Amino acid sequence: MLHLERPRRSVLFMPASNGRAIARAPSLNCDSVILDLEDSVASEAKLAARGAALAVLATGELNVFERVVRVNSADTAWGADDLAALRGAPLDAVLLPKVDGPDTLRAARDVLGEGPALWAMIETCAGVAALRSIAAAARETGLAALVLGPNDLARELRCTSGEDRAPLWPILTEVVLSARLAGIVALDGVTNVIDDAAAIERACAQGARWGFDGKTLIHPAQIEAANGAFAPSAEAVARAERIVAAFALPEHEARGAIRVEGEMVERLHLAEAERLIALDRAVQSRQ
């Protein structure tokens, strides 16, 4: 069962080369921050971005968040050195781009040692094809999250995703399914919209409906929509509490199914109710 030690409703990418943005980070209400060394950093700024990421991590200024660094891929001039530099650094996870199989995870773990967890970007056709084997290596490699990369996927597939992302629906399902099989986190990919609040809310709601645990973001304007979409509603928490209370009654101790508010509720619903309550408590703790 997934252990929700912390909520991951809103996971904000921040270019490690953007010192002004990082300086404002502690005032933001996201759950996790990804210091990006990859897509958002120009080639000539890669080395400076790596140094900036290490420097801000060392200050502890980002300790209120889950701290993640996205490295460059292993086939670039910077990928190997990124991983080597992060060995022993004070961070929670390393996000690996373009993961196309479990060997990518194993190679990163060998460099990082027993340190931070691994997160895997699923953003290539090869990565989608290898999803089950990637997820199956979670325990061995310390993989803690699958992160959808919709922009790169759409490019490789040569599809036009659109707001509803219909061409990607089978992949959304497969990412969530693979994460659940491995007992790890599934994070929805970014939406490129930053000025249309209603569109951002629809994108977050779709990811939540699909079963993702949270969403990666590219702008602070997207944080509140993600926090709202991926947190359980007050009504859902209240119902979960009633289910837990009902199963706790002595007369229901040995029963597999009981009646709650005119509906038959089984122990699988109890497990989900307990998960929702744990998530709500984690969210309240963050706030």
Min mean pLDDT across 42-56, 112-126, 260-274 is at 260-274
Please give the CATH number for the structural domain made up of 10-229: 3.20.20.60
pLDDT band, very low/low/confident/very high, at 115 (cuts 50, 70, 90): confident
- Distance between CA atoms of residues 83 and 94, nearest Å: 8
More confident: 113 or 253: 113
234 HSE (CA, 13 A, CB side): 0
DSSP state, 117?
E
What is the rounded (10 degree) CA torsion for 115, 121, 125, 130? 40
- Distance between CA atoms of residues 107 and 89, nearest Å: 18
Q: With 80 as the cut, is the pLDDT of residue 1 above it?
A: no
State the pTM of this model. Answer: 0.93
What crossing angle do the helices spanning 197-210 and 169-182 adopt, rounded to 10°? 50
Q: With 50 as the cut, is the pLDDT of residue 45 above it?
A: yes
The pLDDT, as a whole number, for residue 2 is 41
Q: What is the mean pLDDT of residues 122-134?
A: 98
Give the phi and the psi of residue 137 in degrees, each rounded to 5: -90, 10
Question: What is the helix (H) or strand (E) element at residue 32, kind and residue range?
Answer: strand 32-36
pLDDT band, very low/low/confident/very high, at 5 (cuts 50, 70, 90): low
- Distance between CA atoms of residues 155 and 138, nearest Å: 27
What ranges do the domains of the chain cover?
A: 10-229, 234-286
Q: With 80 as the cut, is the pLDDT of residue 183 above it?
A: yes
